[in-house]
């Protein structure tokens, strides 16, 4: 049985605006009866705004009235003719004949700019076959010299939301496998655990790594350095007294 959109919000509205039993509401929205009772008690779905099923074309007022009069009446979704035949499709997407010549350009674009996508994902996005994708990856396609990469969204072969979802799924899969991409790709962030396991990079250039040797020399030559400082101080303060004719005064 089909369920309404925003099931929990719909249950909140039915609890607040009707006298339908908890069991009827639970069966209609696909929740447990105790969960609907928790909504009525204020323990569940706190802060959730009710979703009017009548205003959103999911229920009729007659259906609600019938359910209020008979506790045995099961609520039924309002028939929506436009939803007929919208079940989830299986297999590659169907591509109209007028756009089939654009598929190689779309495949080339996906292979070039989203190499993390698998052949199966690309096949579902643009409605092609894995051998075709592989031939473009390996540049063995019969027309590869004339194929230019074009965004499949711009060609109308897929939706931007579908492409984004596929890219995020591919990035999440790589992250789960512990793969770290380079900075140019920037497909995901490295977790703290992974960063701690990575080899530490030098923080200073190799050209000045010899500064530690100077530190050891300073420890051995402290006395000589003090003498130099004292000598410099004496020579600085032992200046000739100024006279009118430039000669030293006794």
pLDDT of residue 137: 92
The domain spans of the chain are 7-83, 97-173
pLDDT of residue 214: 46
Chain segment 117-162, per-residue pLDDT in tens: 999 999 989 888 899 999 999 999 999 999 999 999 888 888 888 8
13-46 exposure pattern, b = at least 16 Cβ within 10 A, e = fewer = bbbeebebbbebbbebbebeeebbbbbeeeebbe
User: What is the rounded distance in angstroms from the CA atom of residue 129 to the CA atom of residue 148?
Assistant: 19
pLDDT of residue 208: 47
Chain segment 95-120, per-residue pLDDT in tens: 666 677 889 999 999 999 998 899 99
Residues of the chain scoring pLDDT < 70:
1, 80-98, 178-250
First CA to last CA distance, the chain: 118
């Amino acid at each position: 049985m089909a369920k309404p959109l925003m099931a929990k919000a719909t249950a909140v509205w039915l609890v607040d605006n009707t006298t339908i039993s908890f069991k009827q509401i639970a069966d209609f929205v696909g929740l447990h009866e105790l969960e609907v009772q928790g909504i009525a008690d204020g323990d569940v779905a706190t802060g959730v705004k009710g979703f009017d099923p009548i205003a959103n074309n999911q229920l009729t007022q007659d259906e609600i009235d019938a359910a209020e009069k008979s506790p045995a009446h099961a609520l039924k979704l309002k028939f929506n003719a436009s939803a007929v035949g919208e079940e989830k499709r299986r297999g590659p997407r169907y591509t109209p004949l007028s756009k089939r010549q654009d598929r190689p350009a779309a495949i080339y674009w996906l292979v070039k700019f989203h190499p993390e996508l698998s052949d199966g994902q690309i096949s579902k996005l643009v409605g092609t076959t894995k051998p075709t994708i592989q031939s473009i990856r390996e540049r063995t396609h019969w027309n590869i010299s004339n194929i230019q990469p074009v965004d499949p969204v711009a060609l109308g072969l897929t939706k931007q939301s579908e492409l984004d979802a596929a890219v995020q799924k591919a990035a999440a899969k790589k992250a789960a496998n512990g793969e770290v991409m380079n900075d140019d790709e920037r497909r995901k962030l490295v977790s703290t655990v992974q960063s701690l396991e990575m080899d530490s990079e030098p923080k200073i250039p190799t050209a000045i790594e010899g500064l530690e040797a100077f530190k050891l020399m300073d420890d051995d030559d402290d006395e000589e350095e003090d003498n130099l400082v004292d000598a410099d101080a004496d020579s600085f303060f032992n200046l000739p007294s100024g006279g009118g004719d430039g000669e030293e005064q006794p």
